[in-house]
Amino acid sequence: MFTTTSRPQADPPRSLPSPSSPHAPMPPPPAPSSPVPPPGGPAHAQHRGQPPSPPARCQPRPCPRPADMNYSRFITTVSAARKGSPIRLLTELMQRSPPSLISLAGGAPNPNVFPFKKATVAIGHGNAVEIGEDLMKRALQYSASAGIPELLSWLKNFQRNLHNPPTANYSPERGQMEVCVTTGSQEGLCKVFEMLINPGDNILLDAPTYAGTLAALRPLGCNIINVPSDQHGIIPNALKEILSAWSPEDIKSHSHSLPKFLYTIPNGCNPTGNSLTAERKKEIYQLARKYDFLIIEDDPYYFLQFEKPWAPTFLSMDLDGRVIRTDSFSKILSSGLRIGFLTGPKPLIDRVILHIQVSTMHTSTFTQIMISQLLQQWGEKGFLEHIDRVVEFYKTQRDAMLVAADKWLKGLAEWYPPAAGMFLWIKIKGVSDTEQLIMEKALQKEVLLVPGRAFNINSSEPSSYVRASFSLSSPAQMDLVSERIFIFFLLSFQEQFLTLTMFPYF
Ligand SMILES: Cc1ncc(COP(=O)(O)O)c(C=O)c1O
């Protein structure tokens, strides 16, 4: 069950300075600054493009109390030791100051010497994004590590309207919802893992899962505990069973061996296409409360859900401030621009921002300005209308993939129609491992699919699955690929049959 068996380390020190007040110790968690809102009635469950409804009221039962989160319990010694860079803080201060400020403080280069002067980017379904000379100077300059202010405030409002998280009005120390821009959601994920994992820590996830996550986790030396799942995502009873290994005393004493977090891809999982149901999410959130673990909700396919209303998110249920959510613009605006955003409790997001300060410094200012200009122009309504168009495209692609699979692979293979995302997860019957078949035979037939073992915790473990992506191919190409899979499986079964009949004792 575990990939490694080393023991966890002792808890890091308790005080966590934040990026904006680098040396201030974290005060003990006070009560929420305003009456605690109930678990969010997510606005996205109403209708997109319309103003969100007010938060649901807990009636007649009293609202459950949020837990007193001790965030420092979760943080590695390395992350706890991060302090704000004084130079970065000056840069951020300068950007908030009026133009009349004369500064000799910053080490920023003079943008007048840069060759790029202005840009016009034509937009499908919108006016061109114009980056004039002044804006271009800003776009080419260093900027705040958390993200440029106008994009951050757009994203914060959007998250509030879409997910209505209970944490939106908490005090910062208590776990107030915070957002930061990341260079793709991959950067956010990687930094969150590095913030949380000491060697030997137990963590939970439902494999097969995104290979990029496994690649980020493996070198950190954690014990990865696989939680069984089906087409509706993690099975709560299976999670309960795994967690029953920890006693009520372990929970009370916050034993080091308690799992630190559960990682999951709740919509259109890469590679399985699975989507977690709202009921299961609620059950899983209750288990997270009971066993005091965090939930990392990696949701790049959230905007590619084929049916409305969209599923409520873990963020929308986050009464305690224990959910870190990664969103991505990669599947809907551009993967090459490298932009995503993290949403979660401020004490944790602040740690990630400190890491960004000393690594990438910030996501490309030019990228952020381009995205921000577009989002300001579209507004939330225009953005959600764009999403509708993207979903329409992927839904048609998904349907074409299902038609091709039905036509050629029925009987030979099994799959579930995905409710979101861009992947069909195909189990090839009678094949214990697809690796050789794909890397040799399928390639000879000019077909490329990903062998299932790439998504196993232990990638040398065999898998009878392949991942087929329906994002780029035309319906005719999907039909052709399915036909070729059919032919080479037929040939390989024939070969097996011949081998068995010619050499019956081998
Ligand atoms: C589940 C999952 N998480 C994260 C990522 C990384 O996405 P981004 O391009 O936002 O870094 C991907 C990319 O495919 C993914 O499938």
Which residue's alpha carbon is at the smallest distance from atom 5 of ligand 1? 186
Taking the centre of ligand 1 as the mean of its atom positions, its distance from the CA of residue 273, in whole angstroms, is 14
Residue identified by tokens 């692979």 is 409
Q: Across the strands, what pairs with 264?
A: 297
Taking the centre of ligand 1 as the mean of its atom positions, its distance from the CA of residue 53, in whole angstroms, is 30
CB 206 within 8 A of CB 266: no
Distances (CA, A) of 377 to 21, 49, 125: 34, 14, 11
CB 260 within 8 A of CB 307: no
Structure tokens at 286: 């209750």
| Phi, psi dihedrals of residue 465, rounded to the nearest 5° | -105, 160
Taking the centre of ligand 1 as the mean of its atom positions, its distance from the CA of residue 330, in whole angstroms, is 7
**Ligand 1 pocket residues where CB is under 6 Å:** 184-186, 210, 212, 265, 270, 298, 300, 328, 330, 335, 340
Taking the centre of ligand 1 as the mean of its atom positions, its distance from the CA of residue 228, in whole angstroms, is 22
Residue identified by tokens 């300068």 is 94
User: CA 432, 438, 444 angle in degrees (round to 5)?
Assistant: 140
Give, for 202, the enclosing helix (H) or strand (E). Answer: strand 202-205
The number of the ligand 1 atom at minimal distance from the alpha carbon of 183 is 11
Taking the centre of ligand 1 as the mean of its atom positions, its distance from the CA of residue 185, in whole angstroms, is 6
Taking the centre of ligand 1 as the mean of its atom positions, its distance from the CA of residue 300, in whole angstroms, is 6
Taking the centre of ligand 1 as the mean of its atom positions, its distance from the CA of residue 87, in whole angstroms, is 31
What is the structure's pLDDT at 495?
Answer: 65
Distance (Å, whole) CA 143 – CA 135: 13
What letter does residue 79 receive in the DSSP assignment? H
Give, for 450, the enclosing helix (H) or strand (E). Answer: strand 450-451
Distance (Å, whole) CA 230 – CA 15: 41
Chain-centre distance for alpha carbon 65: 27
CB 192 within 8 A of CB 324: yes
| Phi, psi dihedrals of residue 244, rounded to the nearest 5° | -70, -10
Taking the centre of ligand 1 as the mean of its atom positions, its distance from the CA of residue 269, in whole angstroms, is 10
What is the structure's pLDDT at 24?
Answer: 32
Say how many C-beta atoms besides its own lie within 10 A of residue 354's C-beta. Answer: 24
CB-based burial of residue 134 (10 Å sphere; 0-12 exposed, 13-18 middle, 19+ buried)? exposed
Q: Name the nearest CA neighbour of 220 among 189, 183, 184.
A: 189
Residue identified by tokens 């990341």 is 182
Of 190, 328, 364, which is best to mutate to test ligand 1, by the most ligand atoms within 8 angstroms of its C-beta? 328
User: Under DSSP, is residue 233 helix (H, G, I), strand (E, B) or coil?
Assistant: strand
| Phi, psi dihedrals of residue 313, rounded to the nearest 5° | -95, 165
Of 180, 181, 186, 189, which is best to mutate to test ligand 1, by the most ligand atoms within 8 angstroms of its C-beta? 186
The number of the ligand 1 atom at minimal distance from the alpha carbon of 209 is 1
Chain-centre distance for alpha carbon 109: 34
Residue 502 contacts by C-beta under 8 Å, 6 or more apart in sequence? none
pTM to 2 decimal places? 0.88
Of 298, 334, 342, which is best to mutate to test ligand 1, by the most ligand atoms within 8 angstroms of its C-beta? 298
pLDDT per residue, tens digit, the chain (506 aa), is 334 333 333 333 334 545 543 333 233 333 344 333 333 334 443 333 343 343 343 445 567 889 999 999 999 999 999 998 887 777 777 777 888 888 787 788 999 999 999 999 999 999 999 999 999 999 999 999 999 999 999 999 999 999 999 999 999 999 999 999 999 999 999 999 999 999 999 999 999 999 999 999 999 999 999 999 999 999 999 999 999 999 989 999 989 999 999 999 999 999 999 999 999 999 999 999 999 999 999 999 999 999 999 999 999 999 999 999 999 999 999 999 999 999 999 999 999 999 999 999 999 999 999 999 999 999 999 999 999 999 999 999 999 999 999 999 999 999 999 999 999 999 999 889 999 888 887 888 888 899 999 999 999 999 999 999 999 999 999 999 999 888 877 777 666 655 444 433 33
What is the structure's pLDDT at 60?
Answer: 52
